[in-house]
Structure 1
Amino acid sequence: MNIMKVEKTFCTTREAATLLGVSVGTTQLWVDNGLLSAWKTPGGHRRVTRESVDKLLHVKMTAATSLPKESGPPRLKVLVVDDDRNLLRLYQVVMAQWPMLPQVTAVDSGIEALLLLERERPDLMLVDLKMPGIDGFQMLRILKDDPTYAEMSIAVVSGMSEADIVSRGGVPPGIAVLPKPIPFAQLLAMAHAIESHKQTSTGRVAA
């Protein structure tokens, strides 16, 4: 057996985390949820396949090059996840007219969203449930188990019926489920509440 070839084919969770620019805990969660392929050694240590890491790196680099460069004071950050690109464009057009001028990042896959979360740390994430690959249900389960995102507000915007959502296991407690067509008035009210909370928290810290 070519030991060097095996070493290049697999890596530790720490090495995978370093390559992907995420925490070791996040990497372990992604392994547990099947986003990364891995196996355990006889000693119980995880070995992550480089192929699965490289696939995520490709997605991450593609997503990063499409992010707009922001300048000026921090703005409310919104991440929208929906596989319908026409809807993503609609989100961007409508939210550009909101008074707080949020920084909107729109992606069409759950994998892209998970990779951007570590870097962007949005204040609000809007996610569709029915998507190819990593869908909204899987995303929410992953995030529920990661305390890093405990303060992030999440809302589901989906055309699925309540019965269909329940049949898929539902969504974690505390996550608003909104119907399509997109209820922009409700989303704007949510954004105002988040921004107000942020300003209040910042004021307490400054005091």
Structure 2
Amino acid sequence: MDQLYTTHDISRLLQVDPSTVSKWIDRGILLAFRTPGGHRRVRGSDLRSFLIAHQMPLPDELGSPMVKILVVDDEKPVLDGMRRAFKAHGAEVDLTTTSSGVEALLLVSELKPHGMLIDLNMPDMDGFEVCRRIRARKPLEGVRLITMTGRHTPELVEQSLRDGAVACLPKPIDVGILLELFRVPLALGKKATG
């Protein structure tokens, strides 16, 4: 089970005032829930996602700075290319890939990734439907969704955004832009390899 943190726990970890943590929660920037007694509680995974998204240092207690990304595309060469591209950029990424929209819906609950890159055109379930189903699940609202397509049109971009994605990128994907959208820190001192 995910460790729970109080606003005071978080303020000590991040060296900020407890009222700052409360403001983040009240503004919806940091996901939290209230106990029956009205006290705020934050899941460790939500705190970690918040820190990564805002490019804040991760305290040792919260684990490694690896960002989890799930890539969904029915084309094996695209998935293989993504693995190579992330590695070449020296990105601190825990990358999982799947070729099925249905499998992605099962994996996202298990993996709890920080972000997903979803192809719009897949045979079993298109990327729009994957986005809608993920956005319908309250525990997954913090997952950053980015779609991709070989037929990049304003209409597809608009529908992607309407269905919950933060961006829709044309194929082939520019990994530099993708890393920026996922707010992934590059590994310091790591050289890019071809």
TM score, norm. by length of structure 1: 0.53
Partner of 1:125: 116
- Find out whether 1:98 has 2:98 as its counterpart: no
Map Cα deviations across residues 49-73 of structure 1 (whole Å, 9 max, x no partner): xxxxxxxxxxxxxxxxxxxxxxx83
Q: Secondary structure at the match of 1:78?
A: strand
Residue pair 1:98, 1:188 contacting (<8 A) in 2 also: no
Q: 1:109 to 1:183 in 2, by over 3 A?
A: same
Counterpart of 2:181, as a letter, is M
Q: 1:148 to 1:195 in 2, by over 3 A?
A: farther
Q: CA deviation at 1:100?
A: 3.5
Counterpart of 1:152, as a letter, is V
Partner of 1:111: 102
Map Cα deviations across residues 56-115 of structure 1 (whole Å, 9 max, x no partner): xxxxxxxxxxxxxxxx83511010000110000000011113334311001001011011
Counterpart of 2:68, as a letter, is K
Partner of 1:202: none
Measured in 2, the distance between the counterparts of 1:112 and 1:81 equals 9
Q: Which has the higher helix share?
A: 1
- Find out whether 1:172 has 2:163 as its counterpart: yes
- Compute the RMSD of aligned alpha carbons: 2.5
Identity value in percent: 31
Q: CA deviation at 1:163?
A: 4.8
The number of aligned residues is 124
Q: 1:174 to 1:115 in 2, by over 3 A?
A: closer
Counterpart of 1:116, as a letter, is L
Map Cα deviations across residues 141-174 of structure 1 (whole Å, 9 max, x no partner): 1112111111111111111232552797864255
Q: Secondary structure at the match of 1:105?
A: strand
Q: How does 1:189-204 map to 2 (within 5 A)?
A: 189-191=180-182, 193=183
Q: Secondary structure at the match of 1:96?
A: helix
Map Cα deviations across residues 110-133 of structure 1 (whole Å, 9 max, x no partner): 011011011100011000000001
Counterpart of 1:137, as a letter, is F
Counterpart of 2:153, as a letter, is E
Partner of 2:141: 150
Q: 1:170 to 1:154 in 2, by over 3 A?
A: closer
Measured in 2, the distance between the counterparts of 1:163 and 1:189 equals 21
Between stretches 109-118 and 155-164, larger displacement belongs to: 155-164
Counterpart of 1:88, as a letter, is L
Between stretches 182-191 and 107-116, larger displacement belongs to: 182-191
Equivalent residue for 2:69, pick from 67, 74, 78 = 78
Higher RCO, Cα 8 Å, sep 6+ = 2
Residue pair 1:137, 1:171 contacting (<8 A) in 2 also: no
Measured in 2, the distance between the counterparts of 1:152 and 1:167 equals 19
Counterpart of 2:71, as a letter, is V
